[in-house]
Amino acid sequence: MEIRNIAIIAHVDHGKTAITDAIMRQTGMFADGMSMDTDKIEQERGITIYAKNTSLIYKGTKINIVDTPGHADFGSEVERVLRSIDSVLLIVDAQEGPMPQTRFVLKKSLELGLKPIVVLNKIDKPAANPQQAGEDVFELFMELGANDEQLNFTTVYAIGRDGIAKKNLEDESKDLTPLLETILEEVSPAPSNTNAPLKAQVFNLGYDNFLGRLAICRIYDGVLKDGENIFVKKHTGETRKGKITKIFTFKGMSREEAKEVTAGDIVMLAGLPDVFIGETITTDENIEPMPAIKVDEPTITLDFLVNNSPFAGREGKFVTGRQIRERLERELEINVGLEVDFSEGNYKVAGRGELHIAVLLENMRREGYELQVSQPHIIIKEKDGVKLEPYEEVTVDVPNEAQGVVIEKLGKRRGILISMRQHENTTRLIFEIPTRGLLGYRGQFIVDTKGEGIISSRVIGFKEYAGEIAKRATGSMISMATGKALGFSLYNLQERGELYIEANTEIYEGMVVGNTSKGEEMVVNPTKGKQLTNMRAAGSDENIVLIPPKKISIESGLEVMANDEYLEITPKSVRLRKKHLTETERSKNKRK
């Protein structure tokens, strides 16, 4: 059977998973209601976090599809996948056009010599402009140095949600057949040289509670049999022996055990507990290893600590340092964008961005873990005596009236405006900004644009350190007492800033209950009740009206926390607290 291997790449929320789901339903591989986004957090957020493999049979041809994440924090997943396939479907929103992650994934594809098929999705949007989006995509190809063959790409128009694709805008269509036909026409069959010695490369990892680490590989040459002895080679040439205990191929989203697999297929292998991404699996010890697959470096770091707050151990099932360590070691089996330093008492965790870390913390919390984390810091390098820090290219789409405040705020955070383009009522701004300047800005951006702005970014590398960045305009409102917060006290405090808690919330001394608009820290008593007397006076018994609080989530907590604070995360609560809980301890620490 002929095999075609493709990946679906795009910016976040441009419709990759919707199109993949529709293809799988049309070819009978999915029942109604099934989706590629199987993870709970993926379904809640509506984004893809983990690259996933699936396959379908169309007209006697097996098509392996890899659905990739669109968010920049998970970009390292995309890079690895591109090495294992023969062509890509580049999905672009017909209204938004190419965005930062579109540029990132397309650049990687063109560098590897792949010829993309462009799919202009969401053509049914009221503001969709497929012609303009098509021109912008062509310009992007030119800008990224595409060769003549790559510039001669095929364009398909689609409405992923409805499962419709067409080769020309005016065509009638009721399903995705035009897209499937284009894949068969444009994607060359995977080479299937079964006479050569086995050669396969690991591009992703999986984990099974019974089988341990699983290697997801593309087989380039030869045949692999169940139980076969093999050699695993690093790109340096270092070789070790191994034995395959189980082989799986993909059928839809499920894996199917196989006794033998041949060149051209994408498979999952068990029996190699120490295998890593980029390693070559072969039956010939003298074969040259394949070029290494580079995994993007982390850009931010923070400490994971055992929770030692007064409320520690109330809600969590796993609360000890050993349990947190075991969970992080398990995460490292599959999350290759993550790095953990276990050498100190605190575990130093480095990741690709705030969302990358927040997703890990959310998963741990749901599994019953309780811990606290420090404020995220960017990773600073030194080269030839010069301090370097990560920079990002930020693309912002905002209503025209909000552009001034966005330029002002990003300017204060050392952002440099590179390009500005108006289209009807919207302005697209492109900045270069240190990652440090972007940490903690997204919440402010939503307020400044009244929820109508779109912000996205991609890491562009390390550049010279930009100097001090003053970001925090608010101070912390710190509780001086332990007990239940009372409505009467909160009513008086809400005038001084924004509250993070509501009435009847359990609080403790040193917990941050809100922020102060003036910028200085304020120690308050949210447990103070009203003094009751026998005297009555007109107007003293009015109803109190509390403004709804801004509840702290993991992401917003990582954004607003200060350097002397911890974010306490338990299965039911997320709280901000000071590292030193009492006023006396904080004063002593400041004098050091």
- For residue 322, pLDDT over 70 is answered with yes
Q: What pLDDT sits at residue 440?
A: 78
pLDDT at 497 over 90: no
Q: How confident is residue 543, by pLDDT bands cut at 50, 70 and 90? A: confident
Residue 288 resides in a domain: no
**In angstroms, rounded to a whole number, what is the distance separating the alpha carbons of residues 224 and 243?**
11
Residue 164 is predicted with a pLDDT of: 92
Give the whole-angstrom CA distance, residue 370 versus residue 324: 8
Domain membership flag for residue 539: yes
Nearest-angstrom CA–CA distance, 73 and 11:
12
Give the whole-number percent of the chain exceeding pLDDT 70: 97
CA-to-CA distance for 113 and 291, rounded, in angstroms? 15
CB neighbourhood size of 364 (10 A): 22
Residues 348 and 483 in one domain: yes
Model pLDDT, residue 158:
92
| Mean local confidence (pLDDT), 183-206 | 87
Let me know whether 250 and 277 are in one domain: yes
User: 123: burial class by Cβ within 10 Å (0-12, 13-18, 19+)?
Assistant: buried
CA distance linking residue 16 with residue 190, whole number of Å = 23
| φ, ψ (nearest 5 deg) of residue 488 | -60, -45
Same domain (yes/no): 433, 536: no
Give 38-68 pLDDT, tens digit per residue.
778 777 777 777 778 888 888 889 898 888 8
Q: Kindly state the tokens that stand for 120.
A: 């202009």
Q: Which domain holds residue 231?
A: 199-282
DSSP state of 546: P
pLDDT at 539: 57
Residue 266 reports pLDDT greater than 70: yes
Indicate whether 23 belongs to any domain: yes
Whether pLDDT at 532 is above 70: yes
> What does the alpha-carbon distance between residue 505 and residue 511 come to, in Å, rounded to a whole number?
12
Same domain, 408 and 353: no
Q: What's the CATH number where 112 sits?
A: 3.40.50.300
Tokens of 77: 């997943």
Q: Give me the pLDDT at residue 566, please.
A: 92
- The per-residue pLDDT for 540 is 56
The C-alpha angle with vertex 320 and arms to 315 and 326, in degrees rounded to 5, equals: 115
CA dihedral 122, 128, 132, 137 (to 10 degrees): -30
- Residue 352 has a pLDDT of 83
The tens digit of pLDDT for each residue in 324-360 reads 999 998 888 778 788 899 887 789 999 888 888 999 9
Assigned token pair, 136: 């912008």
CATH code where residue 389 lies: 3.30.70.240
Predicted local distance difference test score (pLDDT) of residue 541:
55
Q: Residues 458, 481: one domain?
A: no
Same structural domain, 228 and 245: yes
Task: For residues 497 and 560, state if they share a domain.
Answer: yes
Is the confidence at residue 536, as pLDDT, over 70?
A: no
| Residue 216 and residue 167 share a domain | no
- Tens of pLDDT along 148-190? 998 999 999 999 889 899 999 888 888 899 999 999 999 888 8
Q: Is residue 289 part of a domain?
A: no
297-311, pLDDT tens digit by residue? 788 899 999 999 999
Burial class of residue 174, CB neighbours in 10 A (0-12, 13-18, 19+): exposed
pLDDT, tens digit (0-9, with 9 covering 90-100), for 271-298: 888 888 888 999 888 888 888 877 777 8
Residue 327 lies in a domain: yes
| Number of domains present in the structure of the chain | 4
Rounded Cα–Cα distance for residues 450 and 526 (Å) = 30
Output Rg (C-alpha) for the chain, integer angstroms. 27
User: In this model, does residue 473 exceed pLDDT 70?
Assistant: no
Same domain, 22 and 111: yes
Q: What is the CATH number of the domain that holds 238?
A: 2.40.30.10
User: In 3D, which of 293, 259, 280 has the Cα closest to residue 217?
Assistant: 280
CATH number for the domain spanning 374: value is: 3.30.70.870
pLDDT of res. 90: 92
Task: Collect all residues with Cβ–Cβ distance below 8 Å to 416 and sequence separation of at least 6.
Answer: 431, 432, 433
pLDDT of res. 431: 92
Q: What is the pLDDT of residue 475?
A: 84
Average pLDDT for 403-426: 88
Same domain assignment for residues 214 and 100? no
- pLDDT of 156: 93
Average pLDDT over the chain reads 86
End of a domain among 429, 464, 499?
A: 464
The confidence score (pLDDT) of residue 535 equals 65
Q: What is the pLDDT of residue 472?
A: 63
Residues 70, 175 within the same domain: yes
pTM for the model stands at: 0.83
The mean pLDDT value for 550-558 works out to 88
Residues 39 and 162 occupy one common structural domain: yes
For residue 3, pLDDT over 80 is answered with yes
> What would the mean pLDDT of 389-398 be, rounded to a whole number?
88
What are 76-90's pLDDT values in tens digits? Answer: 677 778 888 889 999
How many Cα atoms are found within 13 Å in the side-chain-facing hemisphere of 566? Answer: 21
- Span 206-223, average pLDDT: 87
**What was the pLDDT predicted at 107?**
84
